Structures are given as C-alpha cells and as structure tokens.
Amino acid sequence: MSDQHRLDRVGEWLGIEWSRDQRRLLMVYQQWLLDEAMRAGGIGAGEAPRLFDRHIGDSLAFLRLIGEAASTLIDVGSGVGLPAIPIAIARPNLAVTLVDRSERRSGLAARALRILGLGNVDVRTMDIADIDDTFDITTFRASLRIEEAAMAYQRLGTQGGSGIFAWSRREQPKSPPPPPADTIFNLVSEGAGVFDSPAWLLRIQRS
C-alpha cells in the first residue's frame, strides 16, 4: 500500500477529507524527515520502512483526542516537529507552539516549517519552566516521563484543557502508574486496524 493510500485511510478514520494542499504538505514533510531529519539524527536510521505509520500516522492519531473547540496547542520536547507539524497541517485553525531545549532540534523544526510555509506554528528554543502562557492542549511524544509530563500539563494547560501523552504502540501495553494528586489518567487505544499496531494515548486531565 502506498503512503498516499495510507493517508486516505487515516483521513477516512479521522473523518477528514484532505485538501490538495494538506496532502502535499504531509508528503513533503515526510520526505523531509527521510532526507534531512534522519541524517541529522532527529529520527532513527531504521525508521525509514515505517516512517508513515510510526511518525506521520502516529502523530495524526493525536487528533482523536483534540476537540474542535481547542484553539491552542503546545508540543513539549517536539524535536523535529512530531506530533506538532502533522497536527498543524491537519488543523490549520489551531495555533501550535513547538518547544524544545535543544537549539539543534528546534533549528531543524524551524527549517521544516520554512519549507512547508505553515503560518500557524511557532518554534521556541527554551525550557518549559520559562513558558508563562497556557494552552488548551499539551502534547508529549517521547519527550518526558509520564510523571514529569503530568506536572508540566498542570502548569501549561488551561482550565478544562487536556494533555495527550504517547504511551505505547504495543498490542498490550503496560498500565500507566497512578496519577499525581489532582490529575486523572485515561488510557485509550486508537487506530487498531488502521496502523500496524494500536496507538495507545494517555489523556491527562485535572480532577
């Protein structure tokens, strides 16, 4: 199955009819991950055969937990822009902030955004402890331990907002730990039958 067909399948699952521009941008970004990000160490060299499923598709799975009312999103430890850039392409009405402490990684993400020409994304090279804004959605993908992510969400999330943590791509993942005080964890499985394995996402909310 080609990546274009995989994108159609994911769009049908999400209830999104991709515009020509969205389709082009997602494929351009995937090619950039292969051509530049992988060579720079932003993605493991062995990821090429499953680049769409484990990176583009995996990022788009976050959309299942992002309500239509959300207007702002921060991606913590975004690296080369996953999951934030695919989300920003899919939801052009969402103001997306990528934050990473590494100047090298955030520089790579900024280059990808220049190539894509996305106007709804901001890149910040800084520690999240120095961010004063709050956001409707806070995403975490291979950036922090779950306990640290829950604490970051409590500080960065708006009242009523959600955190989304990429928990596992195993068929049967381990259970998450008990949540910290004033926090609720809800583990959900997304994309069974769409991806090569389910995308397990942990929704983080205030109790």
pTM: 0.96
Radius of gyration of the chain (CA): 16
Task: Name all domains of the chain by residue range, CATH numbers in brackets.
Answer: 3-206 (3.40.50.150)
CA distances from 108 to 6, 52, 191, 192, 196 (A): 26, 19, 29, 31, 28
State the 10-residue block means of pLDDT for the chain, 207 residues long. Answer: 92 97 98 94 88 96 97 97 98 97 95 96 96 97 94 96 97 95 97 95 97
- Which long-range contacts link 15-24 to residues 24+ away (Cβ below 8 Å)? 16/63, 16/90, 22/89, 22/90
Identify the residue whose tokens are 């959605």: 137
From CA 160, how far away is CA 55, in angstroms rounded? Answer: 28
The number of beta carbons lying within 10 Å of the beta carbon of residue 53 is 20
